A and B are shown apart, each in its own frame.
Chain A
Amino acid sequence: MNGTSAVDLSRPALRRRALSRSLRGSLKGGEYTWAVAFVVPYVAVFITFVAYPVVYGLWMGSDVSLYRELFADPIYQSSVVNTALYLALGVNVKMFLALLLSGFFMRPGWWMKALLLIFVLPWAVPQISTFISIHWMLNGEWGFLNNVLYTFFHVEGPSWLNERWMALGAVIVSHIWKWTPFWTLILLAGRMAIPLEIRDTARVDGATGLRGFVHITFPLLANLYLICTLLATIFLLGDFNAVTFVSGGGPANSTHVLATLGIRDAFEIANPRLGVAAVMSALPMVIPLVIILMRKLRTSEVQV
């Protein structure tokens, strides 16, 4: 009985020690304080400038009547169509081009290296500079594109940005122009990471060209390609600059996407809650994407 009471007495201390070990890991007192102090600045930044705005945004967009107002807005309806088109074409054309071009840039030679330097220029130049330039380039009367068409073919080009579908097309092409180099570089690095022995063995076995791509390269790249596509989808959904500067959402607000419509509603119409509701209406699409992305990243980590 005495023995058990002694164990009982020492139990809280034991438990406390176990608890503190589970909190601190193997760190000793002073070191633990330092470790916490090192994490605190970033955690504070995250809570104040990421987590809090997210919660604040969810609260701003939590009123159901906002969505009734939003869904009745014809500009919102056309923005949803634009966003869907922008996503479907922008992401897939860009990623497919990047996949093909990354194979092209695998060729040896100084000429390929020089070409790659030129090719990444659209990505290296700031977005605002290039999108403003494209905006003026597509001007119907004085734009560079129509001047070229007239000089070489004596064709009077249209006013590219004065009609909804052409303007939206211009936005999508500008986005593809801007971001294909970035994803090409990522996929190029992915191709480089394929061990040389695999490529050589495949070549000896006669898997070259299209067959090599279908049976060797693509299966090895597929996971990376999928992760990149998911990320590109999320990035494109948040793309504000291409639409704002190439078409400006015009003509007559017909080429807005959810990201630009949200900012327009919040700041031009001065109805921030409606703006938040506009971007929040994309959440049913974002959340599944994020879940798939997380799963993919986790399984690929296991594979590596």
Chain B
Amino acid sequence: MSTITVGARLEASRAESRAHRVARRRRYLRGLGTAALSAVIVVWSLAPIYNMVLISLEPEGDVFTDHIWPRVPSVESFWGVLTQGHWYLEHFWRQFANSFFIGVMVTFFALLFGSLTSFSIGRMRIRHGWLVSNAALLTYVIPASFLAIPFYRIMQNYGLANNPWSVIAALVAFATPYAIFVFQEYGRSIPIEVDESARIDGASPPQVYLRIYLPLMAPALVAVGTYALLLAWNEYLYQFLLLSSKSSMTVPVALAQFLSSDQSPWNYMMATAIIYAAPPVAIYYAFRRRMAAGLTMGGVKG
């Protein structure tokens, strides 16, 4: 009798340990799979960025090499960009300032027009307001590159060719619909009674907008502002078409200028590309969470 129970117990504990072993092996394999996939993702995501860093660290004339790590890392090309020390870079800071100016103006006007429109539609409930916000969203179903040719012709007719304001106008037109959309979605979380009580106390619409609406909308303003700034900083096609002189063009246009040339100064181009990429990457990582809030509002609602 006792032998049977002992045997049964042994059998049970053996089965248990086998189950443990299977579970452990499965966990081990799962961990291995995760690690392998993670490694692939890291290499895949970083390869072109590593290439950028690698070439930018080459001394001039040494970009035609066959090694895959910097043999004699040199910051010469970064220094060259910052001091405008190469013929290709003689207007670098001017172009950087142009990019910055366009980015700030697009952000400002997209926030201003977007918040005014969504205040009027969402808070003051103007009749047929939905028509405006729906028409605005139609902007996104027309690819911007399709609209570039007529836009260019119109700007020429207006005498705005080679003028940063033509680029600002185009980019504000593209950034504002998203702003209106996010502001309206976000505004739903603020009770309308807040506005109404202010109006009963005698506040005029501009006062409600400035003193109550804008402060309460601060998180959405940050999210959309970041979006507009990055949109303007990263945009290429309209800046390329509309800004042609060396002193009015922006960094991406200058950067792309020598791509097809045989004497492309690759180390300087890559150093410029990194310096140009640094502000948006820093801003993106700093405001990531707040932007994500805007993205989810826009993207996941559906």
Contact = CB atoms under 8 A, between A and B. Distances in A.
A54 B148 CA distance: 10
A55 B273 CA distance: 37
B249 interface: no
B273 A185 contact: no
A27 B124 contact: yes
A48 to B, nearest CB: 8
A31 B114 CA distance: 19
Interface in B130-148: 132, 135-136, 139-148
Contacts of B150: 53-54, 56-57, 60, 276
A128 B139 contact: no
A142 B151 contact: no
Given A34-B206, A144-B51, A189-B295, A57 B149 contact: yes
A119 B45 contact: yes
Contact of B277 (A125, A189, A276): A125
A259 interface: yes
B116 A39 contact: yes
Interface string A20-41: 0011111100111011101101
A52 B205 contact: no
Interface in A244-298: 244-245, 248, 259-260, 262-263, 266-267, 272, 275-276, 279-280, 282, 286, 289-290, 293, 296-297
Interface stretch (A9-17, A70-78, A130-138, A197-205): A130-138
A238 B144 contact: yes
B66 interface: yes
A45 interface: yes
B229 interface: no
A111 B38 CA distance: 9
Interface stretch (A88-96, A145-153, A210-218): A145-153
Nearest to A228: B299
Nearest to A114: B38
Contacts of B140: 231, 234
B277 A129 contact: yes
B68 A151 contact: yes
A275 B124 contact: no
Q: How large is the interface on B (under 10, 10 to 19, 20 to 34, 35 or more residues)?
A: 35 or more
Given A49-B170, A115-B38, A127 B234 contact: yes
B169 interface: yes
Determine chain B's interface SS by DSSP, over half rule: helix
B295 A238 contact: no
Nearest to B283: A124
B302 interface: yes
B9 to A, nearest CB: 30
B49 interface: yes
A267 B152 CA distance: 10
A122 B146 contact: no
Contacts of A56: 150, 153-154
A87 interface: no
A56 B233 CA distance: 27
A177 interface: yes
A223 B280 CA distance: 32
A165 interface: no
Contacts of A142: 63-66
A241 interface: yes
Contacts of B252: 126, 128
A103 B220 CA distance: 28
B6 interface: no
Contact of A235 (B65, B143, B206): B143
25 contacts: A27-B124, A38-B205, A39-B129, A42-B113, A45-B173, A50-B142, A57-B147, A118-B41, A118-B46, A121-B49, A121-B281, A126-B234, A133-B52, A137-B47, A137-B48, A177-B48, A185-B295, A223-B302, A231-B140, A234-B140, A234-B141, A237-B143, A238-B146, A244-B256, A279-B146
Interface of B: 34, 37-38, 41-42, 44-52, 54-55, 63-68, 112-114, 116-117, 119-121, 124-127, 129, 132, 135-136, 139-154, 169-170, 172-173, 176, 180, 204-206, 209, 233-234, 236-237, 241, 252, 255-256, 259-260, 266, 269-270, 273-274, 276-277, 280-281, 284-285, 292, 295-296, 299-302
**6 cross-chain pairs, A with B, having the tightest CB-CB distances, nearest first:** A238-B143, A129-B273, A57-B150, A38-B120, A34-B205, A49-B173
